[in-house]
Amino acid sequence: MKNTEYNKKYYKEHKEEQLARRRSYRDKHPDQIKIENKNNYHKMKAIAPWMITYKRAQTRCLYDRNSSYYMRIEFNLKPDEIKEVWHRDKAWMLDKPSIDRKNSNKGYTKDNIQFIELQENIRKPRTKRSSKEVYA
């Protein structure tokens, strides 16, 4: 039996157990809920648009994807701090707000971030870091 066939069979046999495990994880870790689901995304965008940016920046920093895009970047932000920066920079007035690190050699901290237009952020030159440089 191939591995994929085995996985499908196992999932069918243990479906309720798997679902209960997922629900339990979601209850214990509400900050880890994905916002990519369209319904969650639109609710989040209407209620707290800065949280979308917060979760995406957190994902870029904390989860290793074996890619140069997902570098280990220091992430010292709390949701209330990014909300404060959102209001400070009047990000609700931007067409497509994007979070930008003022000094790209430093991590995401309240003093080092700002909201700018996405197109402006894309045009900014990127600085490459050595793979040995890792933040705590």
Q: Which residue has the higher pLDDT, 74 or 30?
A: 74
Q: What is the DSSP string of 14-67?
A: THHHHHHHHHHHHHH-GGG--S-SHHHHHHHHHH-HHHHHHHHHHHHHHS--SS
* 127's tokens: 């600085």
What's this model's pTM, rounded to 2 decimal places?
0.59
- Residue spans of the domains in the chain: they are 1-33, 34-123
Q: How many CB atoms lie within 10 A of CB 72?
A: 17
Task: Report angle CA 21, 25, 28 to the nearest 5 degrees.
Answer: 140
Percent of the chain whose pLDDT exceeds 70: 71
pLDDT digits (tens, 9 = 90+) for 35-68: 555 567 777 777 788 888 888 888 777 766 555 5
Q: What is the pLDDT of residues 3-25, one digit of tens each?
A: 778 777 877 787 788 777 777 76
